[in-house]
């Protein structure tokens, strides 16, 4: 199963907590919002999902 990063742009405040906690460097800031620029590096640990103060990130798993 391959992780897919879903960011709700309406909830995202651009605090970049996700970037701070991600061990794989998946996130970058773009237009004051978080973007999963390196999604292929995601290991599905869900640190971003758990730490996002706005609950704007959801990790979904898809068939590879």
Q: Which of 7, 54, 11 is nearest to 26 (CA)?
A: 7
- CB of 44 closer than 8 Å to CB of 61: yes
Contacts of 40 (CB under 8 A, 6+ apart): none
> Is 3.30.70.20 the CATH number for 2-62?
yes
What are the 10-residue block averages of pLDDT along the chain, 64 residues in total? 96 98 98 97 98 98 82
Query: pTM for this one?
Result: 0.92
């Amino acid at each position: 199963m391959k992780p897919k990063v879903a960011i709700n742009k309406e909830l995202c405040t651009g605090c970049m907590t996700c970037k701070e906690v991600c061990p794989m460097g998946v996130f970058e800031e773009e237009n004051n919002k978080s973007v999963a620029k390196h999604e292929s590096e995601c290991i599905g640990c869900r640190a971003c999902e758990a730490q996002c103060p706005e609950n704007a990130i959801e990790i979904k798993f898809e068939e590879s």
